[in-house]
Structure 1
Amino acid sequence: MKKTMMMLLLALVSLGAYAQHEHGNMAGHDEGMQMAPEFKDKELGTAYGHYLEVKEALVASDDGKATDHSAMLEKALAKVENADAARETAAKMANATSLKGQRQNFDALSNEMAKLVKNGKLVKGELYLEYCPMANSNQGGYWLSNEKEIKNPYLGEKMLTCGSVKETIK
């Protein structure tokens, strides 16, 4: 019994030390995290959020999620002024039958979304216009992100970090 209690006590002390160690590692992480941008036009902010979900689905090479989020983006863009071209491209992505087709339309969608967010008057935070020269059969392609870290939606896991930040939008 004494041995069991001693082992239990040792396990608890070890767990506490581990938890404290992990907490210490998290202390500096808040400083590096980017604040989500906030737009004067709340509808644009909602649409931009859906755009990010489309981008993340493409990064993960998940065509089902990309289709679903493209459809949500299309609906959200219907409420945004001057967003007809972006809405039409989101509809093409939602109706694309392959991941390759979605990625081909993503460049046009990103260009249209970049125009919208640049005119959308950020009230808080910043976002990044990123570029991969190897996207679209070496024609290149842009996308928007909340973080400087490159997560390539055109090439997915094949070349996840291919690209660079071309512009900071504030």
Structure 2
Amino acid sequence: MKTLKIAASIVFISLSNLAFSQHDHHASAHQKAETQREIKDLGKVDNAVREQIDKALQSYFEVKNALVATDGKLAKQKAKALSQLLKSIESSKLNAEQQQVYAKLSKELAFDAEHISETEDVAHQKDHFADLSKNMFQLVKVFKANASPVYYDYCPMAFNNKGGYWVSEQKEIANPYFGNKMLKCGSVKEAL
């Protein structure tokens, strides 16, 4: 009887571990699918708007670089500047379809930039930076707004091995999630 209980316990634990690992795999696959989601071509975008988005992208890089340096105070300051730049983008110069896409992305970008600017807690900033990065990449990609090459990087170990993306102005990896602990962890997933 004791052997039967032990065997039943082992089967239960094994099934629980299997279900958990499949759940994690599903979450990871869902995250990758969402990141790789393509938005259709929105046509020609007003040059002034593209320049404003590129200026916001340059400001995003300053937030990213502050996080690479694990400097929560600097990231807070740079996120405030990014918030202001995002508010100044003249979306009224976009056509109706472009405005619809921009409205969704800008709302999410503003939310995360604002949260980063409200704290010096680097861990909390990095949580919001992950979403900020995903949406910044989509914004730049769909509006073709980068004046120079950008790289969409991925670290599979970020967020307890769930993975995290970021946008970089350089091909060389500088990980904002681990900073100097694992600066080179990651790889380029896409280049624009």
TM-score (norm 2): 0.65
Higher normalized strand content (fraction of residues): 1
If you compute each CA radius of gyration, which structure gives the higher value, 1 or 2? Answer: 1
Shift of 1:96: 2.8
**Pairing of 1:1-170 with structure 2 (within 5 A):** 40=47, 41-80=50-89, 81=91, 82=102, 83-122=106-145, 124-169=147-192
Structure 2 residues not aligned, in runs of 5+: 1-45, 92-101
Number of aligned residue pairs:
131
Q: Structure 1 stretches of 5 or more lacking a match?
A: 1-38
Offset from partner CA, 1:135-170 (integer Å, 9 cap, x none): 11211110111111000000000000000000011x
Which structure carries more helix by proportion?
Answer: 2
What amino acid is aligned across from residue 56 of structure 2 in structure 1? A
Partners of 2:125 and 2:142 lie apart in 1 by: 25
Percent identity, aligned pairs only, is 39
SS at match of 1:125: coil
Q: Cα distance, 1:123 vs. partner?
A: 6.7
Any idea what SS the aligned residue of 1:142 has?
strand
Give structure 1 regions of 4+ aligned residues with deviation exceeding 4 angstroms: none
RMSD: 1.6
Bigger shift: 151-160 or 79-88?
A: 79-88
TM-score, normalised relative to structure 1: 0.73
Secondary structure in structure 1 of the residue aligned to 2:62: helix
Q: Distance in 2 between matches of 1:97 and 1:124?
A: 30
Amino acid corresponding to residue 49 of structure 1 in structure 2: Q
